[in-house]
Structure 1
Amino acid sequence: MTTGRWTDHDQEHYERPRRHTRPRTKERPTYDDAVDGTVVTVDRGRFTLVVGDVPVTAMKARPLGRKGVVVGDRVRVVGDTSGAEGSLARIVEVTERTTVLRRTADDDDPVERVIVANASQLVVVTALADPEPRTGLIDRALVAAYDAGMDPLLCLTKADLADPETLLSTYRSLGVPWVVTQRGSDLTGLRDRLRGRTSVLVGHSGVGKSTLVNALVPDADREIGHVNVVTGRGRHTSTSVFMLRLPGGDGWIVDTPGIRSFGLAHVEPGQLIGAFPDLDALTGECSRGCLHGSGEPECGLDAAVAAGGADPDRVESFRRLLAARSETAW
């Protein structure tokens, strides 16, 4: 018998078997048995969490897709959370972040890099000498802190090598708090500033950041680098972002690799004034599109300074931060 182009003896005459697949469902797992954890470091697709007091290795569950998971994230975890060698848990949910500290490689780089989530304080670690302080990086870090809604703190190291007053005079009008340290000094003042908070430490290589971390968390064992006597720059010692619990469990610090520049492509210059409520209140009469920088026509800050209603040093310092948004800091 022939039907169409095929005969009864042709294989194509018979209906091909259908693929048997499970029907899709809109129902998703509830993960009622998930436990809370905090991401403390990320290494090649594996995440180290702290669940209670137990370090747990985890991977990201497939349903999270391309959603990024970074140090500081508070997550929900299922699977083996015993922390035993060879165990592996799964991150199934990332809770809403309270803050996000970002930077870009350069000011024209559209790719934002999230450094850490849920931190409340940015500690800008700067050596007073060896290497010499670079105010460009300090300014940019402050801009990033204000943009992220984090409180800034200046931590000046190596005070035995130079007078801190020279640098502090530059930032005093901004109202940025500071602590001054030197090798072997009492760190009570710094500990008081870190207590009960999650603080991110950033700074150039060689400024003493790892030395501070080892002093604050004695079992951290972070590698300490040295400053090149020719270039005046430090060697990168920390190679990854790492979150450490302070002794007694009263706060966290996040150690970051030494950086050479702090890109701010993600920061809108017009939003920076919001971090200075007293100055923002003086801009009501500014023309549309005014960014409140130097040379802006009819800027309310200039009128306030002329009328004696604003501290000129504070306005100048704010405008320096605004200018840092478009200047390369090395």
Structure 2
Amino acid sequence: MRRYGKNPDEDDVRVRPNRKGNRPRTNIRPKHEDAAEGMVLTIDRGRLTCLVEDRTVIAMKARELGRKSVAVGDRVAVVGDLSGDEGTLARIVRIGERRSVLRRTADDTDPFERVIVANADQLAIVTALADPEPRPRLIDRCLVAAYDAGLEPLLVLTKSDLAPADELLETYGPLGLAHIVTSREELAAGAAAEIVRERLAGRTTVFVGHSGVGKTTLVNSVVPGERQRATGRVNAVTGRGRHTTTSALALPLPDGDGWVIDTPGLRSFGLHHVDPSRVILAFPDLEPGTADCPRACGHDEPDCALDRWVAEGHADPERLLSLRRLLRSRERRAGD
């Protein structure tokens, strides 16, 4: 060890240079009080398109946000170059509190949640009545996700000129779902768009459905003049559609009376994240009957108190059957 004597001066003390710069470390982050408010419209490879006032701005997530994810529909605070000119890049420095979050997992064994959309009010579940055939289990899973997120579900049935809607509507009748039935002729003539638009007014609505059901075609007709998205055809051999939408995109309804968010076609909808106790909240006629359920009851067990609740005449038995069918869908593959 080097000795400096009893009275060392500054020339005797060796000072190591600061190789990381002379700026001291600090945990204090800038407040960005001048940040502009924006809404995330779409996300592509780490670049986020945001609506800031009357223009779209390309931004990236600021480092101080860490691992916080940003989703389409998020209200965010943006700083930097907000001109929206080509080649410019701003930064998202804050994410606003979300009033709702629609999420899914890759499958029922995957614990990692993927946020699809934030701040939506309504989930439009689009399915064709034929070409391709309806997939009720996927509809069930979307309904569970909607109830879990606190979104109002809307069932949109397309291609009614190829098959009747009665049987499918009867299946979901006990749920009291709002629904729309359209044909290809109505869609081509613009009549379907007007009917659907009435259900979307004043809301932020997410459109989901498997590929080939006409979801994006319907979105393009509801929001004319905006960024038209590519549409695909159903494979004649497999009966499945081809993915043409690759990322979620928020589009404003005419006259600014709400938003439509188109999402990529689904082939699976994992529900690993869903707690049955949240799904029951969408059944206000059944929820009081869970007061005597055993701890951690999945509401589809031999000692579930809902059986007695229904037997005593407090609720329609068909409602309990519908709830249990939805809960069981968490344990089935979406493509079944």
TM-score normalised by structure 2 residue count? 0.90
How high is the sequence identity, in percent, across the aligned residues?
61
The equivalent residue for 1:283 is 290
1:94-133 aligned at under 5 Å gives the runs 94-133=95-134
Indicate whether 1:312 and 2:322 are aligned. no
Q: Given that residues 129 and 163 in structure 2 are in contact (C-alpha distance below 8 angstroms), is that contact kept between their aligned partners in structure 1? A: yes
Q: Given that residues 147 and 278 in structure 2 are in contact (C-alpha distance below 8 angstroms), is that contact kept between their aligned partners in structure 1? A: no
The equivalent residue for 1:8 is none
The equivalent residue for 1:7 is none
Q: Deviations over 1:56-76 (max 9, x none)?
A: 111111111121111111000
The equivalent residue for 1:253 is 260
- Residues 178 and 23 of structure 1: CA distance in aligned 2, closer, same or farther (over 3 Å): same
- Residues 307 and 30 of structure 1: CA distance in aligned 2, closer, same or farther (over 3 Å): closer
Indicate whether 1:211 and 2:210 are aligned. no
The equivalent residue for 1:74 is 75
Deviation at 1:269, TM superposition (A): 2.3
Q: Which of 295, 299, 309 is the matching residue for 2:304? A: 299
The equivalent residue for 2:281 is 274
Deviation at 1:261, TM superposition (A): 1.0
- Note the residue ranges of structure 1 that are not aligned, 5 or more in a row: 5-12
Q: Name the stretch that deviates more: 174-183 or 21-30.
A: 21-30
Indicate whether 1:326 and 2:331 are aligned. yes
- Note the residue ranges of structure 2 that are not aligned, 5 or more in a row: 4-11
The equivalent residue for 1:10 is none
Structure 1 counterpart SS, 2:184: coil
Structure 1 counterpart SS, 2:292: coil
Q: Which amino acid aligns with 2:315?
A: A
Q: Which amino acid aligns with 1:183?
A: R
Deviation at 1:14, TM superposition (A): 8.1
Q: Name the stretch that deviates more: 232-241 or 185-194.
A: 185-194
Deviation at 1:299, TM superposition (A): 2.6
The equivalent residue for 1:18 is 17
Deviation at 1:79, TM superposition (A): 1.2
1:181-220 aligned at under 5 Å gives the runs 181-185=182-186, 186=191, 187-219=193-225, 220=227
Structure 2 counterpart SS, 1:272: helix
Give the aligned length.
318
- Residues 59 and 289 of structure 1: CA distance in aligned 2, closer, same or farther (over 3 Å): closer
Q: Name the stretch that deviates more: 71-80 or 305-314.
A: 305-314
Q: Given that residues 276 and 299 in structure 2 are in contact (C-alpha distance below 8 angstroms), is that contact kept between their aligned partners in structure 1? A: no
Q: Given that residues 102 and 115 in structure 1 are in contact (C-alpha distance below 8 angstroms), is that contact kept between their aligned partners in structure 2? A: yes
Distance in 1 (CA, whole Å) between partners of 2:318 and 2:280 is 15
Distance in 2 (CA, whole Å) between partners of 1:91 and 1:271 is 32
Distance in 1 (CA, whole Å) between partners of 2:70 and 2:314 is 46
Deviation at 1:26, TM superposition (A): 4.4
Deviation at 1:302, TM superposition (A): 1.6
Q: Given that residues 104 and 265 in structure 1 are in contact (C-alpha distance below 8 angstroms), is that contact kept between their aligned partners in structure 2? A: yes
Q: Given that residues 301 and 310 in structure 1 are in contact (C-alpha distance below 8 angstroms), is that contact kept between their aligned partners in structure 2? A: no
TM-score normalised by structure 1 residue count? 0.92
Q: Name the stretch that deviates more: 28-37 or 154-163.
A: 28-37
Deviation at 1:17, TM superposition (A): 4.1
Q: Deviations over 1:115-147 (max 9, x none)?
A: 111111111001011001000000000000111
The equivalent residue for 2:6 is none
Structure 1 counterpart SS, 2:219: helix
- Residues 289 and 14 of structure 1: CA distance in aligned 2, closer, same or farther (over 3 Å): closer
Q: Name the stretch that deviates more: 203-212 or 304-313.
A: 304-313
Distance in 2 (CA, whole Å) between partners of 1:286 and 1:94 is 38
Q: Which amino acid aligns with 1:255?
A: D
Q: Given that residues 164 and 180 in structure 1 are in contact (C-alpha distance below 8 angstroms), is that contact kept between their aligned partners in structure 2? A: yes
Indicate whether 1:29 and 2:36 are aligned. no
Q: Which amino acid aligns with 1:310?
A: A
Structure 1 counterpart SS, 2:331: coil
Distance in 2 (CA, whole Å) between partners of 1:110 and 1:249 is 37
Deviation at 1:277, TM superposition (A): 1.3
- Residues 113 and 289 of structure 1: CA distance in aligned 2, closer, same or farther (over 3 Å): closer
Q: Which of 248, 255, 280 is the matching residue for 1:241? A: 248
Distance in 2 (CA, whole Å) between partners of 1:263 and 1:255 is 19
Q: Name the stretch that deviates more: 29-38 or 13-22.
A: 13-22
Distance in 1 (CA, whole Å) between partners of 2:99 and 2:146 is 13
Distance in 2 (CA, whole Å) between partners of 1:310 and 1:17 is 77
